[in-house]
């Protein structure tokens, strides 16, 4: 286990700590204290949430434990309202790129785990990465998240090289303009290298915040077996100046109510330690079946669709300025219901097989996949539906490229910035998509959405700029942004 030994030194920093910031007993005592909140309790919290402040754990516990239909509906409508006020009608689009399914860990729920011999193992070469990226670009993608197992083959130098390869790949008018990273927790030295290449968000999901369940899911003789090494992954990234970090839970491993509290405590920890900068986004995947992985088909705490809706709305109410990502693990009908509750980002046109974009031609590759996707529609279909539902698909990457990240982004998000910058940029990137990649039907739906949203711009100066910029895009100019 030479690979694991390399990390033993790093682990010492955390082994010395008396406790970490997740106190399991405290979380349960808060949930138990509010086991049966009254309508009045719930409405008191909703009145606080309406002011767009981050809620405290006890507030969240009240919402989590609420079983009253009338006030649950009030929670849903306030979550939708906050989403609209803070983010507008925008929905940011991306798709993941799976670089390698080789993994030294043995997470019980994951198709990539070391002991699964049903999976055909692969790491993309640089040339194959370019091939995948070209397919993604030609479908209209501008943003991606690169996904890696944890293996000596995909060490930090390989990760950096693969990111450079993604950015260097151009095709017609297109390119990937923002690459986020979802990989194993890294050391500060490794994270410094990652910062130098220029990444978007650094994502690590804790999977479960419940210590005992974490131990059950992640064998001790693996790197991932160390709870605190993972829990402090975002701290280390922020320490070296990567200021867009993301957190997440894999729902189904433990009680969803506890996990929502865990996400909130993690947010509070980061905000308190890093000058108000909490996570840039939160992800909340539910476990999906995976080849050779019986646990994934029968998890201990499967979350129902109703509870899933509730937890998304509670996250939106609790952390109003944090992006919420809903992945294509979910079926289209679930996505339709959940998006209006506060989601700000989705993936579409997703392939999760390693080599899936260039090889599958629309089909899945079960022997190279980590789990099964719920939404296998094309990007074009999802863009069209989003426009028809009154929202505005956005491929915008302006903030990251202008250096508006971390603290600066948080400040901007709290002012009228979103309406003056993000909405116009969303419109401009949608227009590029319609011109270069969309089907006729999608173009019609998209043009209607653009007209509606340009008409809705209140600032006359910005509106004038937009009318001209849209014409410039029609004439062939690209990448116009505010």
CA 249 from chain center: how many Å? 11
Please state, in angstroms and rounded to a whole number, the distance separating the CA atoms of residues 111 and 113.
Answer: 6
Please state, in angstroms and rounded to a whole number, the distance separating the CA atoms of residues 422 and 405.
Answer: 14
Nearest approach in angstroms of CB 159 to ligand SAM is 11
Nearest approach in angstroms of CB 339 to ligand SAM is 19
- Stretch in the footprint of ligand SF4 (CB under 6 A) among 84-92, 109-117, 255-263, 336-344: 109-117
Give the side-chain half-sphere CA count within 13 A for 456.
Answer: 16
What's the token pair of residue 239?
A: 């320490």
- Does 110 sit near ligand SF4 (CB under 6 A)? yes
Cβ atoms within 10 Å of 224's Cβ, excluding its own? 23
- Residue 436 DSSP SS3: helix
Q: Is 207 left (phi over 0), alpha (psi -120 to 50) or beta?
A: left
- Does 431 sit near ligand SF4 (CB under 6 A)? no
- Does 288 sit near ligand SF4 (CB under 6 A)? no
Residues 165-204 as x/- pattern, contact with ligand SAM by CB under 6 A: -----------------xxx-------------------x
Please state, in angstroms and rounded to a whole number, the distance separating the CA atoms of residues 185 and 153.
Answer: 16
Please state, in angstroms and rounded to a whole number, the distance separating the CA atoms of residues 212 and 254.
Answer: 10
Nearer to ligand SAM, 155 or 444 (CB): 155
- Stretch in the footprint of ligand SAM (CB under 6 A) among 43-51, 282-290, 315-323, 456-464: 282-290
What's the token pair of residue 339?
A: 């998006």
Residue 316 and residue 82 in contact, taking contact as beta carbons nearer than 8 Å: yes
Nearer to ligand SAM, 246 or 413 (CB): 246
- Does 190 sit near ligand SF4 (CB under 6 A)? no
- Does 356 sit near ligand SF4 (CB under 6 A)? no
Which entry of ligand SF4, ligand SAM, none binds 285, CB below 5 to 8 A by partner kind? ligand SAM
The CA dihedral of 257, 261, 264, 270, to the nearest 10 degrees, is -140
Backbone angles phi, psi at 168, to 5 degrees: -80, -15
Nearer to ligand SAM, 232 or 437 (CB): 232
Please state, in angstroms and rounded to a whole number, the distance separating the CA atoms of residues 397 and 45.
Answer: 34
Nearest approach in angstroms of CB 314 to ligand SAM is 19
Pick out residues in 214-233 that bind ligand SF4 (CB under 6 A). Answer: 224
Q: Is 52 left (phi over 0), alpha (psi -120 to 50) or beta?
A: left
Backbone angles phi, psi at 103, to 5 degrees: -150, 135
Which member of 21, 98, 112, 227 binds ligand SF4 (CB under 6 A)?
112
Beta bridge partners of 116: none
Which entry of ligand SF4, ligand SAM, none binds 264, CB below 5 to 8 A by partner kind? none
Nearer to ligand SF4, 121 or 257 (CB): 121
Backbone angles phi, psi at 152, to 5 degrees: -60, -25
Nearer to ligand SAM, 79 or 290 (CB): 290
Place of tokens 């600066």: 408
Nearest approach in angstroms of CB 65 to ligand SF4 is 30
Pick out residues in 147-166 that bind ligand SF4 (CB under 6 A). Answer: 149-150
Residues 226-265 as x/- pattern, contact with ligand SAM by CB under 6 A: ------------------------x---------------
- Residue 52 DSSP SS3: coil
Sign of CA dihedral 423, 427, 433, 439: positive
Nearest approach in angstroms of CB 311 to ligand SF4 is 21
Nearest approach in angstroms of CB 248 to ligand SAM is 6
- Chain residues binding ligand SF4 by CB under 6 A are 103, 105, 107, 110, 112-113, 149-150, 224
- Chain residues binding ligand SAM by CB under 6 A are 109-110, 112, 147, 149-150, 182-184, 204-205, 207, 250, 285, 287-288, 290, 296, 329, 370-371
């Amino acid at each position: 286990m030479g690979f694991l030994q390399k990390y033993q030194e790093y682990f010492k920093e955390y082994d010395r700590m008396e406790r970490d910031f997740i106190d399991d007993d405290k979380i349960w005592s808060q949930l138990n204290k509010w086991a049966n909140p009254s309508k009045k309790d719930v409405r008191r919290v909703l009145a606080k949430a309406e002011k767009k402040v981050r809620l405290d754990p006890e507030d969240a516990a009240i919402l989590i434990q609420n079983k009253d239909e009338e006030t649950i509906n009030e929670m849903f409508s306030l979550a939708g309202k906050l989403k609209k006020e803070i983010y507008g009608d925008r929905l940011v689009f991306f798709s993941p790129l799976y670089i390698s399914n080789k993994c030294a860990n043995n997470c019980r729920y994951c198709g990539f785990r070391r002991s699964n011999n049903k999976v055909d193992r692969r790491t993309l070469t640089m040339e194959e990465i370019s091939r995948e990226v070209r397919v993604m670009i030609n479908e209209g993608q501008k943003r991606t998240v690169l996904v890696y197992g944890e293996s000596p083959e995909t060490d930090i130098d390989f990760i950096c090289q693969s990111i450079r390869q993604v950015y260097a790949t151009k095709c017609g008018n297109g390119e990937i303009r923002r690459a986020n990273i979802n990989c194993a927790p890294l050391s500060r030295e490794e994270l410094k290298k990652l910062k130098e290449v220029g990444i978007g968000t650094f994502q690590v999901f804790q999977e479960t915040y419940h210590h005992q369940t974490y131990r059950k899911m992640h064998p001790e003789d693996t790197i991932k077996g160390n709870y605190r090494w993972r829990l402090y992954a975002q701290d280390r990234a922020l320490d070296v100046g990567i200021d867009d970090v993301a957190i997440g839970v894999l729902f189904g491993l433990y009680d969803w109510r506890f996990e929502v509290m865990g996400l909130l405590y993690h947010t509070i920890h980061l905000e308190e330690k890093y000058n108000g900068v909490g996570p840039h986004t939160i992800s909340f995947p539910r476990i999906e079946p995976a080849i050779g992985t019986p646990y994934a088909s029968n998890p201990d705490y499967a979350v129902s669709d109703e509870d899933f809706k509730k937890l998304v709305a509670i996250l939106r109410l609790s952390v109003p300025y944090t992006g919420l990502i809903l992945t294509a693990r979910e079926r289209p009908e679930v996505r339709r219901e959940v998006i209006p509750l506060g989601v700000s980002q989705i993936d579409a046109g997703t392939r999760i097989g390693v080599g899936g974009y260039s090889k599958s031609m629309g089909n899945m590759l079960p022997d190279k996949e980590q789990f099964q996707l719920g939404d296998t529609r094309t990007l074009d279909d999802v863009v069209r539906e989003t426009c028809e539902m009154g929202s505005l698909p956005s491929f915008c990457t302006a903030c990251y490229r202008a250096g508006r990240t971390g603290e600066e982004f948080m400040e901007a998000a709290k002012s009228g910035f979103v309406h003056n910058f993000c909405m116009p940029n969303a419109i401009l990137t949608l227009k590029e998509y319609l011109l270069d990649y969309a089907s006729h039907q999608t173009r019609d739906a998209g043009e209607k959405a653009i007209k509606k949203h340009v008409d809705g711009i209140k600032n006359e100066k910005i509106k004038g700029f937009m009318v001209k910029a849209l014409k410039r895009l029609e004439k062939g100019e690209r990448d116009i942004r505010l």
